[in-house]
């Protein structure tokens, strides 16, 4: 049997333009909401937590691990699309780059990792989950763009990936088993 994998977007981020995005932290409200969510029935039977190497995902995972008393594992393959550090962007500029990344998977915008490369990396990490665990309930804490790519591919909804990304709140979650979406993240 394979694992049931709950994929979760990290908690609300405190954006700090002076730091690279992978070093951003989650907000105090994000921690509070994460603690509340960890008490939900959905997460009572988690056997392990895997998170990306980015600080905001690790902080979200740490909060869950504290509440659930389960082991944590870090896989950088669950990181967000890799993008250059020190690129302060307006919200509008950022959304345009995300749109390009989600609609033109073969080429990353402005030095970003391409959506196709990121999706391959993420999909390989999902395969590793089934090697690391057997017939378990696993929580994976990752990021909005990469989760949008993954769920859009599984649901064959790549043509509306950007629209799906715009609808995904912090701490959104979905459930995947045997490569099938049982609960969509949107």
| 110 within some domain | yes
| 8 within some domain | no
Give the C-alpha separation, 22 to 80, whole Å. 8
pTM: predicted TM-score of the whole model, two decimal places: 0.96
Q: Which residues are bridge partners to 5 per DSSP? A: 138, 176
| CA-angle at 114, arms to 108 and 115, nearest 5° | 120
What confidence tens digit (pLDDT) does each residue in 71-95 have?
999 999 999 999 887 666 778 888 9
How many C-beta atoms surround the C-beta of residue 121 within 10 A?
18
Average per-residue pLDDT for the chain: 94
Give the C-alpha separation, 20 to 29, whole Å. 21
Containing domain of residue 68, as a range? 27-183
**Domain tally, the chain:** 1
- The upper half-sphere exposure of residue 180, i.e. CA atoms within 13 Å in the direction of its Cβ, equals 4
Provide the CATH number for the domain around residue 130.
Answer: 3.40.50.1240
| 3 within some domain | no
Cα dihedral sign, 75-128-81-146: negative
What confidence tens digit (pLDDT) does each residue in 148-159 have?
999 999 999 999
| 39 within some domain | yes
What confidence tens digit (pLDDT) does each residue in 129-171 have?
999 999 999 999 999 999 999 999 999 999 999 999 999 999 9
| 22 within some domain | no
| CA-angle at 13, arms to 29 and 63, nearest 5° | 60
Look up tokens 């008393």; give the residue. 69
Residue by residue, DSSP assigns 148-166 as HHHHHHHTT-GGGHHHHHH
pLDDT of 88 reads 64
Residue 102, H or E segment: helix 91-103
| 168 within some domain | yes
| 6 within some domain | no
The pair of three-digit structure tokens given for residue 22, joined into one six-digit string:
């992978």
Q: What phi, psi does 159 have (nearest 5°)?
A: -65, -20
| 17 within some domain | no
């Amino acid at each position: 049997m394979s694992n049931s994998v709950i994929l979760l977007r990290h908690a609300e981020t405190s954006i700090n333009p002076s730091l690279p995005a992978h070093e951003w932290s989650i907000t105090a409200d994000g921690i509070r909401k994460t603690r509340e969510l960890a008490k939900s029935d959905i997460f009572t039977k988690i056997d392990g937590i895997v998170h990306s190497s980015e600080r905001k995902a690790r902080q979200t995972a740490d909060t869950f691990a504290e509440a659930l008393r389960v082991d944590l594992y870090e896989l950088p393959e669950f990181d967000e699309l890799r993008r250059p550090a020190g690129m302060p962007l307006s919200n509008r500029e950022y959304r345009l780059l995300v749109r390009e990344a989600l609609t033109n998977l073969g080429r990353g915008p402005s030095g970003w990792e391409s959506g196709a490369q990121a999706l391959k990396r993420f999909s390989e990490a999902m395969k590793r989950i089934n090697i690391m665990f057997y017939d378990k309930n696993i929580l994976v804490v990752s990021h909005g763009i990469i989760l949008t790519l993954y769920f859009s591919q599984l649901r064959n909804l790549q043509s509306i990936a950007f629209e799906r990304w715009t609808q995904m709140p912090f701490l959104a979650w979905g459930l995947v088993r045997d490569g099938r979406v049982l609960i969509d993240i949107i």
